[in-house]
Amino acid sequence: MASCLAPALLLLLLLGSPTNVAPNRCVDAADACTADARCQRLRTAYVVQCLGRAAPGGCPRARCRRALRRFFARGPPELTHALLFCPCGGPACAERRRQTFVPSCAFSGPEPAPPSCLAPLDACEHSRVCRPRLLAFQASCAPAPSNPDGCLRDQVPSCLRAYAGLVGTAVTPNYVDNGSARVAPWCDCGASGNRREECEVFRGLFTRNRCLDRAIQDFDGGWPSVLHDQLDPHQDPEHSLLQVSSADASLEGSSMLSMLPVLALQPLL
Ligand SMILES: *[C@@H]1O[C@H](CO)[C@@H](O)[C@H](O)[C@H]1NC(C)=O
């Protein structure tokens, strides 16, 4: 079962959706990443890691997360951020946004229920990788009650950068569903005992943070210029081939799949 699913997921992640009925900026962002050699290479690297099998039913989570940190650290920010914050008007786009970084490996699991947020928080505080990133996120996305709109001026870029920096750490956040742009790490505060308040404060950095919410929403404003150049179909022949294949609505699923080895798997070999 898993071996059937993986190629389909690769197809979804590496190519656009074959029938592009509604505008879907997450697909546009994926196409733009595909057209950029460095973005495509780093994304292929994390997809391969995150879809890998470790123990039965498990995945190589540490390697998956490391590859994700590399993607956001070394990829072109305008492209990696477009994948993470693509503005969505419907569930298909938002579901794709939620799936962007293979959350089944990097975000949730291995247990079916989320742990107490104290677990990722404690792990992060003891991690040289995670701790400075969490501090940067706290500082960059912090509300500023003394300011007129409640957030720091010009906060959006640094807040989004700091948020992206957490992806691939012990406190990897993600969108909680495909009906909103709300985000949270994979945890809750149900079983946090006498540290309940500490737990809620930490979780609230993501779930009750109007400056973070606004920064994610504001990415919309920077969108058109971000991808304008990237989506020029004359930019390179391989990319225009991808554009043709994803725009051709009459294309059968089977022929789409038969093109897959040529178009998408080549960089994996
Ligand atoms: C949105 O999420 C729900 C619940 O997880 C799921 O059943 C549904 O298929 C998702 N919608 C899309 C378009 O993927």
Q: Which atom of ligand 1 is nearest to the CA of 179?
A: 1
Question: What is d(CA 96, CA 14) in angstroms, rounded to the nearest whole number?
Answer: 12
Q: Ligand 1 atom 7: the closest Cα is on which residue? A: 178
The finding on whether 178 has its CB within 6 A of some atom of ligand 1 is: yes
Model confidence at 251: pLDDT above 60:
no
The residue-averaged pLDDT of 189-194 equals 88
Say which residue, 195 or 19, is predicted with more confidence. 195
The residue-averaged pLDDT of 230-247 equals 41
Percent of the chain with pLDDT over 90: 61
Instruction: Give me ligand 1 centre to Cα 86, in Å.
Output: 18
Question: What is d(CA 31, CA 33) in angstroms, rounded to the nearest whole number?
Answer: 5
Lowest mean pLDDT of 23-32, 93-102, 174-183, 227-236, name the range.
227-236
Query: CB–CB of 233/239 below 8 Å?
Result: yes
The finding on whether 95 has its CB within 6 A of some atom of ligand 1 is: yes
Q: Which two three-digit tokens encode residue 138?
A: 């706290």
Residue matched to tokens 């009906």: 179
What domains sit in the chain, N to C, each tagged with a CATH number?
Answer: 2-264 (1.10.220.110)
Model confidence at 241: pLDDT above 60:
no
Model confidence at 239: pLDDT above 80:
no
Say which residue, 99 or 240, is predicted with more confidence. 99
The residue-averaged pLDDT of 115-126 equals 96
The finding on whether 221 has its CB within 6 A of some atom of ligand 1 is: no
Query: Predicted confidence band at 81 (pLDDT cuts at 50, 70, 90)?
Result: very high
Instruction: Give me ligand 1 centre to Cα 97, in Å.
Output: 12
